[in-house]
């Protein structure tokens, strides 16, 4: 079978009259490390642009075999019924709405979805969950889940939930070292979502999985930043499982 075509929801640079290039224009982008990680697994990553007025969004998902929701801006608190506690935590409602529409479309089409960092938070909110708007100031005793200076050099331990998909993918590795680049996190778990892993020792949710009739898995860390780095969890088994599901479901659709 040909390489699975994986749609990646873009990050947004909204129109900015002060920006020296593409002044006043909206830009969409895909982080390079994520693209390379997907390619190393055998996938062909394709960024999914916001559709023009004459394009049905379903035409976008028809051309790809799975969806990745990548990291980036905060999820807007308004999407889970709250006001931002600080102006800088207002997030990106436009991107939220687009990604929730994509998520629902891929689930309805029976195609797998992988969420990364913000992607996990977006999936939790899409299923009715809520977030901590800022772990550092709202969760006493929490680990430093975000350090602007260290960025992807900020690490902590994680414990896999017994019986989870991740525990099956990483047998004998109940404790793992991961990066941590997020200041928001899961507060209330969404409906039909199961916890796959938690930070050690503060218990912050680090991975979730949808228990419905489909394949939706999300992790709070950035697996694409782990590639080739000794001591960090090698997330190749997660990528292989995601792409295996993409191939399997594509074949099922072709032979239906």
Q: 224-228: long-range contacts (C-beta < 8 A, 24 or more apart)? A: 224/31, 224/33, 224/34, 224/36, 224/37, 224/116, 225/33, 225/152, 225/179, 225/181, 226/178, 226/179, 227/33, 227/36, 227/37, 227/40
Tokens read off for 13: 């640079």
User: Do 176 and 161 form a contact (C-beta atoms < 8 A)?
Assistant: no
DSSP state of 150: T
Is 224 noted as a catalytic residue in this protein? Answer: yes
Query: Residue 72: what are its φ and ψ, rounded to 5°?
Result: 140, -145
> Out of 11, 76, 79, 117, which one is annotated catalytic?
117
> Out of 196, 224, 241, 245, which one is annotated catalytic?
224
123: helix, coil or strand?
helix
DSSP state of 144: -
DSSP state of 158: E
> Out of 145, 182, 222, 226, which one is annotated catalytic?
222
Tokens read off for 119: 């992607």
Residues marked active site are found at: 117, 222, 224
């Amino acid at each position: 079978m040909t390489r699975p075509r994986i749609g990646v929801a873009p990050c947004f640079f909204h129109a900015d009259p002060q920006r020296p290039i593409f002044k006043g224009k909206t830009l969409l982008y895909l982080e390079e490390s994520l693209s390379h990680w997907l390619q190393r697994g055998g996938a062909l990553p394709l960024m999914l642009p916001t559709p023009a007025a004459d394009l049905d969004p379903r035409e976008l998902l028809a051309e790809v075999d799975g969806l990745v929701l990548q990291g980036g801006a905060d999820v807007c608190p308004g999407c889970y019924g709250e006001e931002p506690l600080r102006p800088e935590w207002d997030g990106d409602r436009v991107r939220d709405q687009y990604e929730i529409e994509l998520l629902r479309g891929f689930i309805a089409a029976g195609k797998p979805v992988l969420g990364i960092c913000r992607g996990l938070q977006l999936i939790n909110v899409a299923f009715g969950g809520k977030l901590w708007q800022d772990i550092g100031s709202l969760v006493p005793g929490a680990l430093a889940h975000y350090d602007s200076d260290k960025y992807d050099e900020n690490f902590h331990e994680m414990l896999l939930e017994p019986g989870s998909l991740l525990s099956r993918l990483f047998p004998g590795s109940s404790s793992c070292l991961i990066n941590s680049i997020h200041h928001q996190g899961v507060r209330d778990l969404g409906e039909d979502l199961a916890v796959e892993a938690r930070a050690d020792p503060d218990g912050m949710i680090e991975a979730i999985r949808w228990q419905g009739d489909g394949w939706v898995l999300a992790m709070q860390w950035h697996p694409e930043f782990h590639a080739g780095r000794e001591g960090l969890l090698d997330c190749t088994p997660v990528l292989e499982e995601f792409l295996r599901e993409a191939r399997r479901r594509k074949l099922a659709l072709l032979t239906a």
